[in-house]
Amino acid sequence: MSYVLLASRVGRSCLNRMLAFLACLLIQHVAYSQDDLPLDIGSIEIPESRLPLCFGFSDVSDLRALAICDALNLRQNVKARELSELWLRNEPESPAAQFALAEVLFSVEGNMPRALFHLNRAEELTDYETLEEAFNSGNMQWHYLTLSQLSYVHQLMGEQLKSLEYLDKLSRIYGQDVESFRGWPLIKLKQYEAARASANQVLQNSENERERARAWNTLCAAELASLQPIDSMSACDRAIDEDEDIANQANDYDTVYLTNASEVSLSLLEIEQAEDYLDRATRYLNPDSVADPWIYKLYLTMNQARFDEARSALDRMLIWREQQEPIVNVMNRAEHFLVSASFLLLAGYAEDSIKLTATALNQPDRNGSYSADDAQKDAYAALLNMMANRAEYQIQLENAASMDLVDSLKSQIAAISLRFDAWRAARRAGSLFAEFDVIQSRLRPYAPLDVHIPEWIEPEIAGLIGPGVTANILEQANNNGAFQLNPGYYFSYLTEIAALNNDHAETIEAGRRALARLPQQEALLKARISARMADALWAGERYAEALDSYEYALRQDPSIIRRLETSIPVSIEQDGSEFSSLASRYLLRSPRFHEHPNGLVLNIRSTPDLSICLNSRSATNISCYTTEVGSTQGSKWNAQELTRLFHTQAFGLGYDISKAQRSILLGSSVILSSQLNDNLRQNRDTFLNQ
């Protein structure tokens, strides 16, 4: 998971009083009391303004700005855009007009590049170097707002050095204390010692609650940067308040805090506690929060093979995404795409998973509020894209198995492009994972500051960079304490490395040690290990043990055999009908099965209904597909159709996800059916009424 920033914009409303005093000082140069002594500004009591804020200020007097703010407050976004564009057309040299349009583009439409263009133009028009110069221009508010927003936009777009430069400029010209905002860009730059020093400076000098919360948040992130588990959660707990009252239900509205707390708990392998924090975070919709707790809930339920709950979490995640503010949607869209792609891959919709991962890979992400960076997101997207292309290629081979010769050849030739796309994605992912520090940190279970890659996917990295390189980095990571909390993850990597090296004895031994130590919640990772062990045990002619491992793997993760591009030994039982004979032939052509007298039992029947069932040697059902006999179709058509459907059932989750729903996952603007819209509304109403 990626640690999330608590708050990032430089405050504006608190600046109203300060600017008023500064203006007074600039006019008078030095203010004196009746006793001819310097006036103590801090002693003057200023009443709080009850006027509505406009761009963060209560004293904006420009009627055009006020009209735009009124439209924004009423959510008349089109009107706000039209008013700001009209203002800019009439006064192209106005920094206020440039800023107003930038604010609409940024906050309403989430269009950072265009907003940045107008902010840069506003800065050019207000190139002041001193406070007196800014005040005398009459554009002091707009200059301050421009610098503040430039710092924030550059941070979100990954340009942390520029963000720090604008913070320094705010401090130099306006005397604004920006130290609490410096910590996060330093974290993003991986300058952890500098970030820690900045945070400690804030804690020593500031009594402001939000500034101190940001400082504790920075210290927590700096501590999580170590490969070893953190010794104390005090800094992370105090990111919410000075009382460390994490159990207080009043904190449930702070989505970012709770998701960060979940992140910290996961890094300590306190998986149940992590899910509890997420459950608390999901109780209240928070459209302004970049942290969508349903993303992480979906990851956790998938990890644990709780697929019904995962399917529900996917629906809730879409409802949450639907309510997000546009700027937030831009910031976490890649996370939505990638977690959805992971679920679709498990469910057997590899083609849609390819589209989602390609979209996440090709669109720039605005993740300045996350500890992970673009390179990490791209690496994961490329890795998942590789897996999806490989899975879709296997699906095409499975489908071709029941086709006639000519159609089968055409299908296999057409599918070759999938192998090429998988190879290309693997090359890209491998290059991004190649840096030593990146991959060493990546091996740590639930790497807290990196992009979230599920533990059941991470062993794929060994195939990308090679088992030899992985083994070397694995040992160094282990020596540095990466697996201190649970060595089961270390042995899971050893299992993968041994399997890639075709070392059957080591695969079995490392696999057993991993299964004995891993947390029970790691169901999909255990399924992968069991599948690797099953192949090794079968190669060693330890058939009974191998079948137990195959059965366990299939029950936990039906898609694992397809994803590993391996096959199951089966002994076919049929009733001698034309249908069963044809189905037997098609199934043995499939890359998922090979015949062996000691294999699992593949039972094919034509009466009373058409059925294909995969059973254990003790006749326990593993997967089965049954349908009525098609009276208008012949045995060949029935055998072809049932073979295809059986593959879908046996190596997927059995969820029928409509094309309309998959279009929503892709962010499509297509007009969905009224039934789907009604379902979404009903789910949303239920969610809101909880």
Does 10 share its domain with 71?
Answer: yes
Task: Supply the CATH number for residue 637's domain.
Answer: 3.30.160
Of 133-137, 164-168, 207-211, 576-580, the one with minimum mean pLDDT is 207-211
Structure tokens belonging to residue 573: 């039982």
Please give the span between the terminal C-alpha atoms of the chain, in angstroms, as a whole number: 27
Burial class for 223, CB neighbours closer than 10 Å (0-12, 13-18, 19+): buried
**Is residue 206 classed as helix, strand or coil in its secondary structure?**
coil
Of 74-78, 238-242, 441-445, 466-470, the one with minimum mean pLDDT is 238-242
Query: Which position has the higher pLDDT, 46 or 262?
Result: 262
Alpha carbon distance 375, 188 (integer Å): 12
Mean pLDDT of 406-416: 89
Query: Which position has the higher pLDDT, 31 or 196?
Result: 196
Nearest to 426 by CA among 394, 397, 389: 389
Query: Which position has the higher pLDDT, 46 or 5?
Result: 5
Nearest to 280 by CA among 245, 304, 320, 246: 246
Mean pLDDT of 340-366: 89
Q: What is the pLDDT of residue 245?
A: 60
Q: What is the pLDDT of residue 631?
A: 62
Alpha-carbon torsion, ordered 331, 334, 335, 339, to 10 deg: 160
| Cα→Cα distances 288→131, 256, 317, Å | 33, 10, 15
Does residue 178 surpass a pLDDT of 80? yes
Does 641 share its domain with 664?
Answer: no
Q: What is the pLDDT of residue 540?
A: 96
Of 65-79, 342-356, 484-498, 617-631, the one with minimum mean pLDDT is 617-631
Long-range contacts of 303-312 (CB under 8 A, 24+ apart): 303/454, 303/455, 303/456, 303/521, 303/522, 303/523, 303/524, 303/525, 304/521, 304/522, 304/523, 304/524, 305/523, 305/524, 305/527, 305/556, 305/557, 307/346, 307/653, 307/655, 310/343, 311/343, 311/653, 311/655
Q: At what angle do helices 436-443 and 467-479 cross, to 10 degrees?
A: 70
Q: What's the chain's average pLDDT?
A: 86
The pTM of this model reads: 0.85
For residue 207, tell me if it sits in a domain: no
The pLDDT confidence band at residue 254, using thresholds 50, 70 and 90, is confident
Nearest to 368 by CA among 290, 260, 294: 290
Alpha carbon distance 613, 628 (integer Å): 15
Does residue 689 surpass a pLDDT of 60? no
Q: What is the pLDDT of residue 46?
A: 46
For residue 523, tell me if it sits in a domain: no
Alpha carbon distance 690, 687 (integer Å): 6
For residue 308, tell me if it sits in a domain: no
**In angstroms, what is the C-alpha Rg of the chain?**
30
What is the dihedral sign for C-alpha 554, 558, 559, 562? positive
Instruction: Judge contact between 638 and 586, C-beta under 8 A.
Output: no
Does 646 share its domain with 663?
Answer: no
Alpha carbon distance 462, 470 (integer Å): 6
Q: What is the pLDDT of residue 52?
A: 73
Q: What is the domain range of residue 13?
A: 1-176
> 623: which DSSP letter?
E
Does 158 share its domain with 93?
Answer: yes
The pLDDT confidence band at residue 18, using thresholds 50, 70 and 90, is very low
Does 644 share its domain with 664?
Answer: no
| Cα→Cα distances 411→171, 399, 400, 406, 640, Å | 64, 8, 6, 9, 15
Alpha carbon distance 550, 383 (integer Å): 25
For residue 120, tell me if it sits in a domain: yes
Does residue 61 surpass a pLDDT of 60? yes
Determine which helix (DSSP H) or strand (DSSP E) holds 624, and give its type and residue range: strand 621-627
Instruction: Judge contact between 153 and 117, C-beta under 8 A.
Output: no
Alpha carbon distance 292, 338 (integer Å): 13
> 569: which DSSP letter?
E
**Is residue 595 classed as helix, strand or coil in its secondary structure?**
strand
User: Tokens 């600017």 label which residue?
Assistant: 19
Long-range contacts of 628-636 (CB under 8 A, 24+ apart): 635/577, 635/578, 635/579, 635/582, 635/606, 636/582
Mean pLDDT of 429-434: 86
How would you classify residue 110: left for phi > 0, otherwise alpha for psi between -120 and 50, otherwise beta?
A: left
Mean pLDDT of 230-234: 72
Does 586 share its domain with 671?
Answer: no
Per the DSSP assignment, residues forming a β-bridge with 38 are 32
Does 598 share its domain with 684?
Answer: no
Q: What is the pLDDT of residue 94?
A: 95
Q: What is the DSSP code string of 277-307? A: HHHHHTTS--TT-S--HHHHHHHHHHHTT-H
Mean pLDDT of 521-530: 98
Mean pLDDT of 318-342: 88
Does residue 512 surpass a pLDDT of 50? yes
- Tally of CA atoms within 13 A in the half-sphere of 166 that contains its CB: 25
Of 9-18, 99-108, 262-271, 401-410, the one with minimum mean pLDDT is 9-18
Mean pLDDT of 45-70: 78
Q: What is the pLDDT of residue 251?
A: 64
- Tally of CA atoms within 13 A in the half-sphere of 125 that contains its CB: 21
Alpha carbon distance 653, 351 (integer Å): 15
Q: What is the pLDDT of residue 557?
A: 96
Alpha carbon distance 533, 510 (integer Å): 9
Does residue 556 surpass a pLDDT of 50? yes
Q: What is the pLDDT of residue 287?
A: 85
Q: What is the pLDDT of residue 27?
A: 41
Alpha carbon distance 581, 416 (integer Å): 30
The pLDDT confidence band at residue 414, using thresholds 50, 70 and 90, is confident
For residue 51, tell me if it sits in a domain: yes
Q: What is the pLDDT of residue 669?
A: 37
Q: What is the pLDDT of residue 365?
A: 58
Does 111 share its domain with 163?
Answer: yes
Does 578 share its domain with 668?
Answer: no
Determine which helix (DSSP H) or strand (DSSP E) holds 196, and give its type and residue range: helix 192-205
How many structural domains comprise the chain?
A: 3
Does 624 share its domain with 674?
Answer: no
State what percent of residues in the chain have pLDDT above 70.
Answer: 86
Domain final residue pick, 159, 176, 193: 176
* pLDDT tens column, 581-637: 999 999 999 999 999 999 999 999 998 899 999 999 999 999 999 988 766 678 999
For residue 87, tell me if it sits in a domain: yes
State what percent of residues in the chain have pLDDT above 90.
Answer: 59
Alpha carbon distance 224, 239 (integer Å): 14
Query: Which position has the higher pLDDT, 416 or 41?
Result: 416
Does 682 share its domain with 573?
Answer: no
The pLDDT confidence band at residue 24, using thresholds 50, 70 and 90, is very low
Does residue 458 surpass a pLDDT of 50? yes
Domain final residue pick, 123, 149, 176: 176
Does residue 33 surpass a pLDDT of 50? no
For residue 616, tell me if it sits in a domain: yes
Does residue 146 surpass a pLDDT of 80? yes
* pLDDT tens column, 88-125: 999 999 999 999 999 999 988 889 999 999 999 999 99
**Is residue 592 classed as helix, strand or coil in its secondary structure?**
coil
- Give the number of other CB atoms < 10 A from CB of residue 489: 27
Cα 446 off chain centre by: 13
**Is residue 627 classed as helix, strand or coil in its secondary structure?**
strand
Of 152-156, 337-341, 686-690, the one with minimum mean pLDDT is 686-690
Mean pLDDT of 263-273: 91
Task: Supply the CATH number for residue 100's domain.
Answer: 1.25.40.10
Domain final residue pick, 115, 145, 176: 176
Alpha carbon distance 122, 459 (integer Å): 49
Instruction: Judge contact between 569 and 538, C-beta under 8 A.
Output: yes
Structure tokens belonging to residue 445: 């279970």
Of 433-447, 523-537, 562-576, 643-657, the one with minimum mean pLDDT is 433-447
For residue 545, tell me if it sits in a domain: no
Mean pLDDT of 151-169: 92
Does 97 share its domain with 123?
Answer: yes
Mean pLDDT of 524-551: 97
